[in-house]
A and B are shown apart, each in its own frame.
Chain A
Amino acid sequence: MEETTGACRLRTIGYKLWYGDFCALHETTLDIPSNRITAIIGPSGCGKSTFIRTFNRMNELIPGVRVAGEVLLDGQDIFRLDVVELRRLVGMVFQKPNPFPKTIFDNVAYGPRAHGLRDRNRLAEIVEKSLRSAALWDEVKDDLSKSGLALSGGQQQRLCIARTLAVEPEVILMDEPASALDPIATLKIEELLQTLKKDYTIVIVTHNMQQAARVSDFTAFFMTDENRSGHLIEYGPTSRVFTNPREKTTEDYISGRFS
């Protein structure tokens, strides 16, 4: 694709997905560049969450799902990778913060422990590094044994980001990560994304178009057709998509003229 210069971390080629007989996502060919933030926008039901759940094979957990086409991570077919390893490489942060009912420390240490790490010092290092990267360390460093659930919503979401970072992923998928947060907590997440993209490739689904415009380098716009199937309509640099989109459907959607 002409505008996504630089290394491509994720790639879909003619990727298609059905729920039973219903085609939820039409052929989608898209390159997601490394160390950039790619926003996925579009109305409810357009397949944007389905699309990002492809990358850590979460769709497979839904009965009746069928896919076609290729999905590559660093050039490798993700369907041939070990799914546990894939989910380590491709982490996910959800709309509602979902810390485990454990201490802050144990929340962050959960992933490394699940991958077999037992060394207490090494775990402590990882917890500190991850909490620092998630811009939460200064707020919780004196209270790591406090329950993750005792934190504020915004802190909980950053704890979930820290938990994702603890297993050293390459890609972070975010499904509406700030939609349950107030503007201050949202700003913290948005600023955090700009720091994280230096080390990670980020794909974010958002309903908030101003947020997509603010945080992302690239924007992909999905839309439903008359059969309620999702289509990729347009993909390009955010600066262009929001000032001079190529497709009228994109223009209408981003400028708030819904049909």
Chain B
Amino acid sequence: MARETYENRISEILGSILRLGKVVSEALKQSVEQLSRRDLEGAALLIERDEEINRMRFQIEEDCLTLIATQQPVATDLRKIASVLEIATELERIGDYAKGIARLNIFIGQKPLLKPLVDIPRMCERARGMLEKAVEAFVREDAAAARAIPEQDQLIDELYKVVQRDLIFFILKDPGSIDPAMALLWVAHNLERSGDRVENICERVIFTVTGEQVDLG
């Protein structure tokens, strides 16, 4: 006999986590695209829309607490719910990184970028790919997939170093470029941190499936 009520409620929560993952991934994508095309209005809108991400996260948290209080999950069920609570937080923080990029975009203002964006969009793409795969791995309870994802973070870390080097070069050449260079450096930093957050999500996937607490970072 299955626990239909429980299964339905947990499916709904997993659906919400998938949706939150997609919304956050989209926010990250838009933040970098807006930066590329200097879309300040879009950036302002994105900052506003972060509220929606926060709201989704709180709703997931509430649903999890209700499920714990009313259904008393144990074993894998309990690990899954505990992981949902953490993953929702990680996703919400990645949402904050997207918002941070939008703010940096507004900070740079009408000025043109120091250089065309090459590595930053690549970092963003990689982070988004990892994020979506990690959330899918969680929903599918695929620990092997979760173990494989952090490898992809290496490229993000390498690109981050390249961006740092390039920007330091700009600063040395023209000390007047410190502010716009630092802004871009922070953009890259936010993307690098997003990759790290995805690693945390992968750790939760492994914990849910195996009960094993691992540090993939």
Contacts and interface: CB of A to CB of B under 8 A. Distances in A.
Interface of A: 209-210, 213, 242-245, 250-251, 254-259
B74 A209 contact: yes
Interface stretch (B37-45, B76-84, B158-166): B76-84
A245 B75 CA distance: 7
Contacts of B2: 257
A258 to B, nearest CB: 5
Secondary structure class of chain A's binding surface, majority of residues: loop
B118 interface: no
Contacts of A250: 75
B75 A244 contact: yes
B59 interface: no
B3 A254 contact: no
A250 B211 CA distance: 15
Contact of B1 (A242, A245, A259): A259
B1 to A, nearest CB: 5
Given A255-B73, A255-B75, 14 more contacts: A210-B72, A242-B78, A243-B74, A243-B211, A244-B79, A245-B75, A251-B75, A255-B3, A255-B77, A256-B3, A257-B1, A257-B2, A257-B3, A259-B1
Q: Which of B2, B75, B76, B211 has the most CB of A within 10 A?
A: B75
Contacts of B73: 255
B6 interface: yes
A254 B75 contact: yes
A255 B1 contact: no
A244 B1 CA distance: 21
Contacts of A209: 74
Contacts of B1: 257-259
Interface in B58-102: 72-79
A243 B72 contact: no
B211 A244 contact: yes
A213 B73 CA distance: 12
Contact of A254 (B6, B74, B79, B211): B74
A255 B2 CA distance: 10
Nearest to B76: A251
Nearest to B7: A257
B77 A243 contact: no
Interface residues of B, number: 13
Contacts of A255: 3, 73-77
A19 B2 CA distance: 33
A11 to B, nearest CB: 27
24 contacts: A209-B74, A210-B72, A213-B74, A242-B75, A243-B74, A243-B75, A243-B79, A243-B211, A244-B75, A244-B79, A244-B211, A251-B75, A251-B76, A254-B74, A255-B3, A255-B75, A255-B76, A255-B77, A256-B3, A256-B6, A257-B1, A257-B2, A257-B3, A259-B1
Contacts of B76: 251, 255
Contacts of B78: 242-243
Interface string B1-31: 1110010000000000000000000000000
In the A-B complex, the 9 residue pairs with the smallest Cβ-Cβ separation, listed nearest first, are A244-B211, A242-B74, A251-B75, A258-B1, A256-B3, A255-B77, A254-B74, A255-B75, A245-B75
Contacts of A210: 72
A255 B1 CA distance: 11
Contacts of A259: 1
Contacts of A257: 1-3
Contacts of A244: 75, 79, 211
Nearest to B5: A256
A230 B105 CA distance: 68
B189 to A, nearest CB: 36
Nearest to A254: B74
Contacts of B3: 255-257
Contacts of A243: 74-75, 78-79, 211
A39 to B, nearest CB: 13
A50 B168 CA distance: 76
A257 B2 CA distance: 5
B4 to A, nearest CB: 11
Nearest to A259: B1
Contacts of A251: 75-76
A258 B1 CA distance: 5
Nearest to B77: A255
A193 B1 CA distance: 33
A255 B80 CA distance: 12
